[in-house]
Structure formats: structure tokens, C-alpha cells
Amino acid sequence: MMRLGAVYGAVPAAERRPRKVTDSEGLYILLHPSGSMLWRLAYRFEGKQKVLALGRYPDVSLPKARKAAVDARALIADGYDPSVERKRAKVRAKTAAMDSTFRVVADAWFKARKVKWVESYSDRLRSRLDDDLLPDLGDMKIAAIEPVEVLACIRKIEQRDAPEMARRVLQMAGNIFRFGVATGQCPRNPAADVRDALASPKPVKHRPALKPGELPEFMRRLAQYDGAERTRLGLELVAHTMVRTSEVRFAHRDEFEGLDGQQALWRIPAARMKMRRDHLVPLSPRAVEIVKRLLVLAGNKPLLFDADTKSGVMSENTLIYAVYRMGYHSRASVHGLRSTASTILNEHEFNRDWIEMQLAHIEGSVRSIYNAAEWISGRRLMMTWWSTYLEHLMAGRNPDGTVHQEAANEDRLPEAAAAALRRMEDARS
């Protein structure tokens, strides 16, 4: 290889600058006045002139430099930038050398996501993580985990005859691996290669709901329910408010407002709602009676359904077991009461927006998302009508009258519904 003196000749040291000695096809050696000799490859990629460093001479000999240049030009021919590919290779090498276990990354992922989850959902995910993923994968280096090892973990869940849960846990594993990729702790997401190997899930079995014609008999049986009073009142509260079971079970006395007036309201905080937003529930006169009785039964305790359970409230199975005891095993569910109420109110042509808001369903419009009290007066009238309807059924009477809604978007009870309500109230008196 050429000496520096042969390149610079008699040029004074203070005036010497880096010089190039070319080889071929863009390969050259850069000679510095300090004495270092660096291999470089000049190339164009996507119309831009670039330079790739190939090492220092004599650590990299001329034959090795030419071989590296050939490899780089091959990448360019295939559409890859050799400078970018080199950086990626360094990241992959660094990642492979990391010691983070799956448990460490999973805990970091859970902590980062937990802030946006409601407590009940967070608890469910933590249980899945602790019970189904960490026992098998927790102590393994996350960068070294292969798809076959993820599949072996998921197969254990399938063997419990829980294919849908297996898919949910695999999705969680994928989220953790993607978090690891984003934070530089693993090179890829091996869970992505497992999806097609899972057993096919069973057909979705929706929770059974009563048909409108079956509701009268159900309400009569509820009126005659001889189990715990608090359980019967819990079922009634679900029916009269159309809220979810969990929202009833965790009801707190401070959430109820105006129980002695005409504007009684149940304000369920966002932390307890599936959609993470406050839900305002107008209370009918009968709903107020139910709440007041539950407050008496609760004594000085803040929760209406306080119980000595892990969650601190009545078990999630208590209400559904009461439905079974009434003779509706596999025929009805507590959640299904919401569906039945929606069907009947829609059949009576109540404003669909009132119904969807009462069910705490959000379809994404800005108006729906940010106005928690939207249509509150209309919903209050609708829920008073609905409660009276249910009271007649519990008493063994069939309310008559067909509701016609003439102004779907007006915040008032349809005239036909108001007339039906008056007939019910007259019958009641």
C-alpha cells in the first residue's frame, strides 16, 4: 500500500489535507495527514450521493475491502441502502446481547398501559399475565424466545378447552413483544408467527336474552323471588336502570344524588365504566325506592352490595344464580335484560339516541363523547315510562297502548308514550 510520503510529496505538514487514492467502482482509501488510512465506498442510492465506511487499513486488507464493496453493491442492486442495513445490524446485535427477561418487559408494558384501564379490566389482564404467560416465559430472555416456545405456552390454555382465552392471551403476548421491540429489548415479535397454529375458536355464544313476550313471566317470578332481599333488589335495579351488572355490584352511596326530589340521579364515575367516561343514570320513582331500601340494608357501609369477597362486593355470580333459581338457566342472563329493554323501547319508537345513551353505548361522535348529560330530560321520561311498564308486569298486569314517536330528535316524551304512562298511573291508583 502506498506510503503517505509518496502522496503528499513536499507539501508542508501544516497544509496537508485528507487525500483520496481510488481503487475501482467507487472504492477508495482516504489518507489523513495523521497517518490513518480508511477504506470508503462512494455510491448513489435513490438519487443521493453517499459514503460507506469499510474499515481501517491494514486491519482491513485490500482484498477484504474489495469483497465488502462487492457485498454493498449487491445490497444496492436489491434495493437496500448498505448504510441503513449496517445500522440495523448493529441494533440487532445489541438487542441480542441484552439480558432482559420476558417478565421484566411484561411488567414494564403492564405499568405503561395500566393508567388507561379501568380497575376491573386491569385486574383481569394482570391475572392472565401471572397465570398464563409468566410461569412458562417469565424467566426466559425475551430476545431469545422462539415462536415454538410461545405456542407451547398457549397450547396449555387450549387444553383447558378455552380457545378464545388462548387467543386473548396470545394477543397480550404479542403486545408485550411489540413493546420489547419498540424499547430495543427484543428483535421481533415471535407471537405473530403463532396465530395460524391456534385451534379454531368455538362459535360465539351470546348471553341469552328474554324475548319481549317472555318478560312478563320473568318479572312476576322476580316479584315472588324468595331469596335474599338484596339480591332481588339488585336484579330489579339492573332492570329499572339498564346498567351493567358490575356497575350495580360496585355502586357507592356517594354516587346517588337528589333521592328526595324530582331529579334523582345516579352518577357512575368514569373509573367504573367500560368506556372510561362518567355515566349519568336518571332514576325513576321506583328506582329511587330500590336505592333507598338498599341504603338501609347497607347501614353505614359505603358500598350498597358490600360483601366478604376478594373484590369486597357481592360476587358476580350472585345475580345470575338468582336468575337460574327463578328457572331461567340457559334461557336468560342478567346482561340480557339490557338487550330486552332496548328491544322493547325501540319497538315503542322511543328516540334511539336516548336508548343508546342509557345503555352507555358510544358511537364516537364528539357530541356523544363529551356531553355525559345529553338527552337527560328525555331519558328521565323514558325511564319513568319503562319503570312503570315493569311494575305492571311484576303486578301481573299487561300495560297496553302503542307508542308513536313524531319528533325523534326532540327532547320530550312521545305523546303516545305519555298517554300510555297516564293510563298506567291511573290503573296503579
DSSP 96-142: HT---BHHHHHHHHHHHHHTTS-HHHHHHHHHHIIIIIHHHHTTSBG
The one catalytic residue among 50, 274, 292, 423: 274
Cβ contact 302:253 at 8 Å: yes
Cell of 108: 414494564
Reply yes or no on whether 274 is catalytic: yes
Reply yes or no on whether 202 is catalytic: no
Cell of 224: 315472588
Cβ contact 41:86 at 8 Å: no
Q: How many residues would you count in the chain?
A: 429
Reply yes or no on whether 28 is catalytic: no
Cβ contact 66:26 at 8 Å: no
| Phi and psi angles of residue 183, each rounded to the nearest 5 degrees, phi first | -95, 10
pLDDT at residue 97, rounded to an integer: 53
Reply yes or no on whether 370 is catalytic: yes
The one catalytic residue among 338, 348, 380, 392: 338
Domains in the chain, start-ordered, CATH in brackets? 4-93 (3.30.160.390), 102-197 (1.10.150.130), 212-428 (1.10.443.10)
Cβ contact 27:41 at 8 Å: yes
The one catalytic residue among 17, 111, 367, 370: 370
Q: Which of 242, 239, 283, 240 is nearest to 265 (CA)?
A: 283
Low-confidence ranges of the chain (pLDDT < 70): 1-16, 91-99, 201-207, 274-277, 362-374, 398-429
Q: Which of 59, 24, 62, 60 is nearest to 43 (CA)?
A: 24
pLDDT at residue 326, rounded to an integer: 92
Q: Which of 194, 217, 240, 166 is nearest to 328 (CA)?
A: 217
Written as one string, the DSSP assignment of 388-402 is HHHHHHHTT------
* pTM of the model as a whole: 0.54
pLDDT at residue 411, rounded to an integer: 43
Reply yes or no on whether 338 is catalytic: yes
Compute the distance between CA of residue 310 and CA of residue 277 in angstroms, rounded to an integer: 26
Compute the distance between CA of residue 177 and CA of residue 146 in angstroms, rounded to an integer: 11
Which value, in Å, is the radius of gyration of the alpha carbons in the chain? 35
Cβ contact 326:222 at 8 Å: yes
Burial of 182 (0-12, 13-18, 19+ CB in 10 A): exposed
Encoded amino acid at 202, one letter: K
pLDDT at residue 191, rounded to an integer: 93
Written as one string, the DSSP assignment of 163-176 is HHHHHHHHHHHHHH
Secondary structure of residue 69 in the 3-state scheme:
helix
| Phi and psi angles of residue 34, each rounded to the nearest 5 degrees, phi first | -70, -15
Compute the distance between CA of residue 88 and CA of residue 81 in angstroms, rounded to an integer: 11
The one catalytic residue among 230, 335, 352, 423: 335
DSSP assigned state of 23: -
* pLDDT per residue as tens digits for the range 250-305: 999 999 999 998 899 999 887 777 556 678 999 999 999 999 999 999 999 999 99
Compute the C-alpha angle 47/48/52, nearest 5°: 130
Q: Which of 320, 262, 318, 257 is nearest to 291 (CA)?
A: 257
The one catalytic residue among 244, 272, 286, 392: 244
Compute the distance between CA of residue 124 and CA of residue 122 in angstroms, rounded to an integer: 5
Q: In the β-sheet with 27-31, what is the strand arrangement from edge to edge?
A: 19-22, 27-31, 37-45, 48-57
Q: Which of 52, 61, 139 is nearest to 103 (CA)?
A: 139
315, containing H or E segment: none
Q: Which of 104, 91, 52 is nearest to 73 (CA)?
A: 52
| Phi and psi angles of residue 54, each rounded to the nearest 5 degrees, phi first | -115, 5
The one catalytic residue among 361, 397, 412, 422: 361
Which residue is it, cell 358490600?
A: 306
Cα distances (angstroms) measured from residue 169 to each of 129, 160, 230, 347: 8, 13, 36, 40
Cell of 290: 330500590
Cell of 315: 360476587
Reply yes or no on whether 80 is catalytic: no
Cis peptide before 135 (omega within 30 of 0): no
Q: Long-range contacts: 84-90, Cβ < 8 Å, 24+?
A: 86/52
